[in-house]
Amino acid sequence: MVIASQEQFNDFAQGLREPGWFLDHRKAALARMLAAQIPDFRQGLLSGISFPEKFELSDITPENGRHDSTVAIEYDKSSGVSIFSSSEVSQAMPAESAALFKAFLTEDWMHDADALAWHQQAFANDALFIRIPKDCAVSKPILITYSCGAKPLLASIFVLAEKGSSAKLIMIKKSAVQKVKKSGEGGRKINEGDDHNYSGNQSYVSEDLRVFAVGDNEIEVTAVQALDDSSVIVQRRTSWQGKQAAVKWDDVCIGGAFCRSEVISILAEKGSSTKSVSSFIVGERKRFMLSNSALHKSQFTVSSLLTRGALAQESKVFSKGLIRIDPEASGSEGFQKQDALLLGKGAEAAAMPNLEIMNDDVKCGHGVSISDIDDGRMAYLMSRGLDERAAAQLIVEGFLLPAIELITDISLRSLLFSAVRAAVARTGRG
Amino acid sequence: MRAQYDRKNKENLSFQLPEGLSEEIVREISKQKKEPGWMLAKRLEGLKIFLQKPLPSWGPSLSRLDLSRIRYYLRPDASKNATRWEDVPQDIKNTFERLGIPEAERKSLAGVGAQYESEIVYHNLKKEWEEQGVIFLDCDEGLKKFPEMFRRYFMTSCVPAALHKFSALHAAVWSGGTFIYIPKGVKLTTPLQAYFRMNAMRGGQFEHTLIIIDEGAEAQYIEGCSAPRYDESALHAGCVEIHVLKNARMRYSSIENWSKNTYNLNTKRAIAHEGAIMEWVNGNMGSAVTMLYPATVLAGDNSSTSFLGIAFAGKSQNQDTGSKVIHIGKNTSSVIRSKSISKEGGITSYRGLLSIRKGALNAKASVSCDALMGDARSVSNTYPSIDVVERSASVAHEASVGKISEEQVCYLRSRGLDEKAAAQMIVSGFIEPIVKELPLEYAVELNRLISLEMEGSIG
């Protein structure tokens, strides 16, 4: 089985008005996609994780290059940051920016790419190009909100952080039905789609975010995925980091029937570092696959990866971590930790924290813990007057604190807290 | 000291089959051994599965292993199964004397078996244990004398032939090995021991170890393995099956020191019934490629297991080892502790599986793996896989990778040790938790082997 055919691509490409070099990139990606295997998501585990039963892979290919999602962007225009939308990226981009943009299209970004990752490259139907100029410190976060419709959305976001720049990016993905509730938001709208009542059919959302931190940067990315419970989500974030560039990832997954979220930090030059926190709260029969990788390619690079979350009901989460230290990367340090709280009787957590170390002058470690809420802690809190549900809620919130404290936005925090409440309520406590 | 293991004898075989594998060869092995029909059927089934299954797509490359050139059955020229050491032919005796087998027996062991090529050449069991009903035989003889026990336990529930490609190969061509039965309530106070040796070029050794520890019994079994060095690859695809019945306890220790061109693709698996305890102590030193993951199935309630492993990979060696535990019963617990040392471009990988199945209430498991790297050319990988379906489980895993720290060496030197001695002391400290679980003579051997292998790599 293949995800999409050459014919589908021909139809798709007809409606595009893009420069030739970008179409060439799509064609090359299509060829790779056709040759690649469909991931089976089993990862050698006893009980694999699969795409939702009724979801057809053939449904993930957009027609005519269009989607019905809304993208809202808020940022301080006086900060020097420039943002180009899909149409601008393809048509009106200055030659200089186009040259920079091409740097995002090499295969260096495609670590461990499978058919879905190549599919995103070939069929992307929404793109944003964010340029943070040299030595620019952006104080107000750049906020991007996707209100996703029923049609497949394959969004690419390219962030170019020039030397010495720093910025914070917040990205929220939610379903259009939630957008109706929160209408009236300001901001610049691109690709205005039809507002519609969400049909409840499973929709496909794919996202590819690339951060090119040229050097001496401090970039923070907070991404919250709170889509409708029937959505199928495939997201992939990659950073390529130059000398002394620091990138912080804060990835929160709450929604979707199936969600695959990958974070890959390529520590390409001396002294670059990454801190990546992936957190999740999951219930019902949802399936999450989270992966967190740090590829140390140069000396004195540092990575710290944490995946942490709570599972209610019959949800399943597979989390994979990789720290790879190349022979050239002496003096590097890499740590990873994967923790899961099993709240549901039928929940399943699987972890695979891999290390591949090819240099001896390193410090590396990893840890995994999987358990239920500790009875002793529950007893303590209840002896202080909390009821069972409040006590469980407090423990889960405490468990997720590393993720929660990274989120400064109040509305995002409250989203996370309500997800915790829902997860605890589903366990039948209290 | 390595030379002691690498030394080879002239091949002195009374019977051997041509290279490669075919149905005729499998039938011939069974005929030579005068086996019952059901065993032949089992062998042929194994062959069928072996031919169907592909090579594993993960782990070290097996591309240099030419399965069509392996000699699958070699019988040494010795009156089979001598019980008196004097009856063993001189060249084989010299080999085992060099390796210290009779000496070890004289000292403290309850029984000793020695396998040369495909057949057991010597075995002995102290009389006091024999009188209590302990059985310590080579596997072929065990099959003849206790066919019912074999039908029930041999490659059935513990290691079925279809487990993977090399267990299927083993089922087809197995020969020799050890059969141990400890009757109900008998507690062996001294260990049983076997030693396996491959001498012939491009030989394959497929010994089968079947151990049944009956209810409430206890035993300890130690196994040593070696082979001389030839220019062409040899294959070792042994199989160890251990059934630890209700409230029984078993400790299985092995030091595998195959020559550095052997492919060691071994299968070790135990089933622990209610209240049973299974302990693995595993040392992997030699071989070109090792793929070995001793597994315990904690089938019964309140059963527990522990695994202590050390792997050493030097120049052009690839040690892919680890442990698997499957928790099924209630209140089960497991502890995995693995240590590895790599140097001169050697590759060590910890690959493990920890699975807590539905209904395995209150399971507790912990895994820790530590790696020490001797130089910047070596590689250390960790691929643990943890799968938990039971929320009352408590699972912890941790790992660390590092090199011999300059600070520690500096400290020891300030106390008067030279650099070499300091490094050796750090390595000894690193492997100490495993070494201390071994009987004294094995502990000494392992320590000496490792310090020898580490020689010249530091300082």
Residues of B in contact with A46 (CB under 8 A): 355, 387
Query: In sequence order, what are the residues at sequence separation of 6 or more whose Cβ sits closer than 8 angstroms to the Cβ of residue A105?
Result: A22, A25
Q: How far is B354 from chain A (nearest CA, A)?
A: 9
Nearest to A343 among B375, B391, B396 (CB): B391
Could you read off the pLDDT of A219-255 as tens digits, one per residue? Answer: 999 999 988 888 889 999 999 999 999 999 999 998 8
Task: Compare all CA atoms of chain B with the CA of A332 and give the residue at the minimum distance.
Answer: B402
Question: pLDDT category, B187, cuts 50, 70, 90?
Answer: very high
Mean pLDDT of chain A: 83
Q: Is the dihedral of CA B373, B281, B257, A324 positive or negative?
A: negative
Reduced to 3 states, what is the DSSP secondary structure of residue B217? Answer: coil
**Is A371 in Cβ contact with B399 (below 8 Å)?**
no
* Last residue in a domain, options B245, B267, B292: B292
**Is B393 in Cβ contact with A371 (below 8 Å)?**
yes
Which letter does DSSP use for residue A81 in this model? Answer: -
pLDDT at A188 over 60: no
pLDDT at B204 over 60: yes
**Is B58 in Cβ contact with A362 (below 8 Å)?**
no
pLDDT at A55 over 80: no
**Higher-confidence residue: B85 or B179?**
B179
Instruction: Return the structure tokens found at A148.
Output: 């996703």
Output the 3-class SS for B408-457.
HHHHHHHCCCCHHHHHHHHHHHHHHHHHCCCCHHHHHHHHHHHHHHHCCC
**Is B399 in Cβ contact with A360 (below 8 Å)?**
no
On whether residue B301 sits in a domain, the answer given is: no
Q: Which of A50-59, A207-216, A365-374, B204-213 has the highest mean pLDDT?
A: A207-216
**Is A354 in Cβ contact with B375 (below 8 Å)?**
no
Asked if B377 contacts B345 with a C-beta cutoff of 8 angstroms, the reply is yes
Nearest to A370 among B58, B385, B386 (CB): B386
Q: What is the pLDDT of residue A191?
A: 34
On whether residue B446 sits in a domain, the answer given is: yes
On whether residue B335 sits in a domain, the answer given is: no
Residues of B in contact with A319 (CB under 8 A): none
**Higher-confidence residue: B115 or A237?**
A237
**Is A368 in Cβ contact with B386 (below 8 Å)?**
yes
Q: What is the mean pLDDT of residues A293-307?
A: 96
Using the structure block, give the residue that is written with the tokens 């059985």. B135
Task: Compare all CA atoms of chain A with the CA of B378 and give the residue at the minimum distance.
Answer: A358
Q: How far is B348 from chain A (nearest CA, A)?
A: 10
Query: In sequence order, what are the residues at sequence separation of 6 or more whose Cβ sits closer than 8 angstroms to the Cβ of residue B24?
Result: none
Determine the Cα–Cα distance for residues A112 and A382; give it in Å rounded to an integer: 47
Q: What is the mean pLDDT of residues B404-429?
A: 85
Angle at A57 between CA A52 and CA A62, to 5 degrees: 125
Q: What is the pLDDT of residue B391?
A: 87
Q: What is the pLDDT of residue B298?
A: 97
Residues of B in contact with A349 (CB under 8 A): 387-388
Nearest to A364 among B383, B384, B401 (CB): B401
**Is B379 in Cβ contact with A358 (below 8 Å)?**
yes
Q: Which residues pair with A142 in a beta bridge?
A: A169
Q: What is the pLDDT of residue B214?
A: 96
Q: Which of A305, A370, A378, A424 to mutate to test the interface with B (most CBs of B within 10 A)?
A: A370
Q: What is the pLDDT of residue A236?
A: 95
Instruction: Return the structure tokens found at A426.
Output: 């589903």
Determine the Cα–Cα distance for residues A256 and A272; give it in Å rounded to an integer: 33
pLDDT at A259 over 70: yes
Asked if A323 contacts A366 with a C-beta cutoff of 8 angstroms, the reply is yes
Crossing angle for the helix pair A115-123 and A20-35, nearest 10 degrees? 160
Burial class of residue A379, CB neighbours in 10 A (0-12, 13-18, 19+): exposed
Determine the Cα–Cα distance for residues A381 and A167; give it in Å rounded to an integer: 40
Using the structure block, give the residue that is written with the tokens 């027609």. A63
pLDDT at A184 over 50: no
N-terminal to C-terminal alpha carbon distance within chain B: 21
Q: What is the mean pLDDT of residues B336-363?
A: 91
Q: Which of A164-168, A395-399, B233-237 has the highest mean pLDDT?
A: A164-168
Determine the Cα–Cα distance for residues A356 and A349; give it in Å rounded to an integer: 23
**Is A352 in Cβ contact with B386 (below 8 Å)?**
yes
Query: In sequence order, what are the residues at sequence separation of 6 or more whose Cβ sits closer than 8 angstroms to the Cβ of residue A158?
Result: A101, A104, A127, A128, A129, A130, A210, A212
Residues of B in contact with A315 (CB under 8 A): none
Look at A97-101, A141-145, A325-329 and tell me which has the smallest mean pLDDT: A97-101
One-letter amino acid identity for B341?
A: I
Using the structure block, give the residue that is written with the tokens 């720093």. A166
Q: What is the pLDDT of residue B12?
A: 60
Q: What is the pLDDT of residue A285?
A: 83
Same domain, B286 and B422: no
Question: pLDDT category, A189, cuts 50, 70, 90?
Answer: very low
Same domain, B286 and B414: no
On whether residue B302 sits in a domain, the answer given is: no
Write down the pTM of the prediction: 0.84
* Last residue in a domain, options B292, B317, B339: B292
On whether residue B372 sits in a domain, the answer given is: no
* Last residue in a domain, options B267, B292, B317: B292
Q: How many domains does chain B have?
A: 2
On whether residue B375 sits in a domain, the answer given is: no
Same domain, B276 and B416: no
Q: What is the pLDDT of residue A17?
A: 73
Query: In sequence order, what are the residues at sequence separation of 6 or more whose Cβ sits closer than 8 angstroms to the Cβ of residue A126?
Result: A67, A69, A71, A86, A153, A154, A155, A156, A191
User: Which residues of A lie closer than 8 Å to B, measured between beta carbons?
Assistant: 43-47, 327, 330, 340, 342-372
Q: Which of A73-87, A391-405, B51-65, B304-318 has the highest mean pLDDT?
A: B304-318
Single out the residue of B349, B363, B335, B352 nearest to residue B386, CA to CA: B352
On whether residue B27 sits in a domain, the answer given is: yes
On whether residue B387 sits in a domain, the answer given is: no
User: Which residues of B lie closer than 8 Å to A, measured between beta carbons?
Assistant: 58, 355, 367, 371, 373-403
Q: What is the pLDDT of residue B286?
A: 78
Q: What is the pLDDT of residue A187?
A: 33
**Is A47 in Cβ contact with B387 (below 8 Å)?**
yes
Question: pLDDT category, B5, cuts 50, 70, 90?
Answer: low
**Is A345 in Cβ contact with B391 (below 8 Å)?**
yes
Please spell the DSSP secondary structure of B117-162, one letter per residue. Answer: TTEEEEEEE-HHHHHTT-EEEEHHHHHHH-HHHHHHHTTSSSS-GG
> What values do phi and psi take at B110, rounded to 5?
-75, -30
Residue B442 belongs to what domain range?
407-459
Look at A409-423, B100-114, B139-153, B440-454 and tell me which has the smallest mean pLDDT: B100-114
Same domain, B269 and B411: no
Q: How far is B401 from chain A (nearest CA, A)?
A: 5
Look at B94-108, B222-236, B307-321 and tell me which has the smallest mean pLDDT: B94-108
**Is A356 in Cβ contact with B391 (below 8 Å)?**
no
pLDDT at B219 over 90: yes
pLDDT at A11 over 80: yes
One-letter amino acid identity for B143?
A: L
**Is B403 in Cβ contact with A360 (below 8 Å)?**
yes
pLDDT at B98 over 50: yes
Question: pLDDT category, B96, cuts 50, 70, 90?
Answer: low
**Is B389 in Cβ contact with A354 (below 8 Å)?**
no
